[in-house]
Amino acid sequence: MTQPVPLLEVKNLVKQFPVKRDFFGRVTETLHAVDGISFDIAAGETLGMVGESGCGKSTTGRCVLRLIEPTAGEVRFNGQDVTRMDAKSLQAARRDMQIIFQDPFASLNPRMSVREIIGEPLIIHGLTKTAQEYEDRIVHLLETVGLNAGHLRRFPHEFSGGQRQRVGIARALAVSPKIIVCDEPVSALDVSIQAQVINLLSDLQRDLGLTYLFIAHDLSVVEHISDRVAVMYLGRVVEIAPSRELYLNPKHPYTEALLSAVPIPEPTLKRKRIVLKGDIPNPVNRPSGCHFHTRCPRAEDRCKQESPVLRDLGDGHWAACHLNDA
């Protein structure tokens, strides 16, 4: 039986930033933000992407949308390579690919009203024909995210953080996208508001058939919204698995360490805390072999020399760790 083509396919994605040049303008130091990662997302699925700050997850999301240009690799959306699209084709594709940013205040133009913020993509893509249709569409979008017509004339500074993020979600929904990159959409919000926004995103996915790449630095945030979870470390995916499988049976020491920091709601249960030593290495001067070996409590001599590949461990569980080698 032929497997359906994923809605989004990322193959060997690389993003490098030159950080130092010599007298002749030649690059002498390079920051390796994304280091040859591959993953796919099926229609209607949520792939959670987690890792510490600086691991490259937000850069990955922006490369997928070509908000920044990838250095190498392929990003295929509906079978078409986004990295090779011309400006006109890319603008058309952007109707189907949207983003929700981390900071809802910084991502909204402070000089524009809510009507203008949400209505802008409708105008750019010519999605409404009359002024009344334009107005009705904006009101409908506001109601969809839990706001109302009374908010139309307000400006971003007049809202709370959670309300501003709802405006950002409404703007992303304006063009009826198929996939949304959620770039840490709740990290700047209070814990109680985080749950409300995540529940809203879940409801929208169910009602509108959306697909998400949900980026976060906290595994507890993506646990309930993600169908699968990819764990990134220093520009590489070190583990990817169905959500429940990853939480119950992690196969990479880095994933184990992240999970050990997730609070358990049941006070009688205890989880051994794994404290990683040191900071993430400089992505300009990366360690040899496995990038995690400098902090890994189970590192072997082999880890310092050989870079592990992402191996299929069965049932959709992949990990890049020598400890899993047969």
CA triple 124-100-179, angle to 5 deg: 75
The rounded radius of gyration (Å) of the Cα atoms in the chain is: 21
Lowest mean pLDDT among 125-139, 176-190, 268-282: 268-282
Q: Which two tokens stand for residue 162?
A: 């959670």
Q: What local confidence, expressed as pLDDT, does residue 192 receive?
A: 84
Query: What single-letter DSSP state applies at residue 209?
Result: -
| Token pair for 88 | 């006109």
Helix (H) / strand (E) containing 205: helix 191-208
pLDDT score of 38: 96
Higher pLDDT, 107 or 120: 120
Q: Output the pLDDT for position 1.
A: 41
2 falls in which pLDDT band (50, 70, 90)? Answer: very low
Q: For residue 132, is pLDDT > 50?
A: yes
Higher local confidence (pLDDT), 179 or 265: 179
Residue predicted with more confidence, 217 or 97? 97
Beta-bridge partners for 81: 76
Judged by average pLDDT, the poorest of 7-16, 98-107, 139-148 is: 98-107
- The amino acid present at 252, given as its one-letter code, is H
Rounded CA-CA distance 85/91 in Å is 9
Q: What is the mean pLDDT of residues 152-157?
A: 93
Query: Are 32 and 211 within 8 A, CB to CB?
Result: no
Task: Indicate the DSSP class of residue 35.
Answer: E
Q: What is the pLDDT of residues 48-57, one digit of tens each?
A: 999 988 899 9
Render pLDDT for 35-84 as a digit per residue (tens, 0 to 9): 999 999 999 999 999 998 889 999 999 999 999 999 999 999 998 999 99
Domain borders along the chain are 8-96+177-324, 110-175
User: Which tokens in the block code for residue 227?
Assistant: 């169908």
What is the mean predicted confidence (pLDDT) over 204-227?
Answer: 92
Distance of alpha carbon 58 from alpha carbon 82, whole angstroms: 18
> In the prediction, which pLDDT does 266 show?
58
Handedness of CA 81, 222, 43, 173 (dihedral sign): negative
Q: Quick one: average pLDDT of 208-212? A: 96
End-to-end CA distance of the chain: 30
CATH number attached to the domain at 8-96+177-324: 3.40.50.300
pLDDT over 70 for what percent of the chain? 96
Question: How high is the mean pLDDT of the chain?
Answer: 91
* CA distances in angstroms from 25 to 15, 19, 69, 226, 284, listed in the order given: 20, 11, 20, 44, 18
Structure tokens, 298: 């189970």
Q: How far is CA 83 from CA 66, 125, 126, 188, in A?
A: 7, 21, 25, 30
In angstroms, the CA 65 to CA 325 distance is 35
Q: Residue 224 CB: number of other CB atoms within 10 A?
A: 13
Cα distance between residue 61 and residue 138, in whole Å: 27
Which H or E element spans position 13? strand 8-21
Cα four-point dihedral sign 75, 249, 216, 273: negative
Task: Please tell me the distance from the alpha carbon of residue 280 to that of residue 139, in angstroms, as a whole number.
Answer: 45
Predicted confidence (pLDDT) at residue 262 exceeds the cutoff of 80: no
Q: Say if residues 162 and 197 touch (Cβ distance below 8 Å).
A: yes
Confidence of residue 24 (pLDDT cuts 50, 70, 90): confident
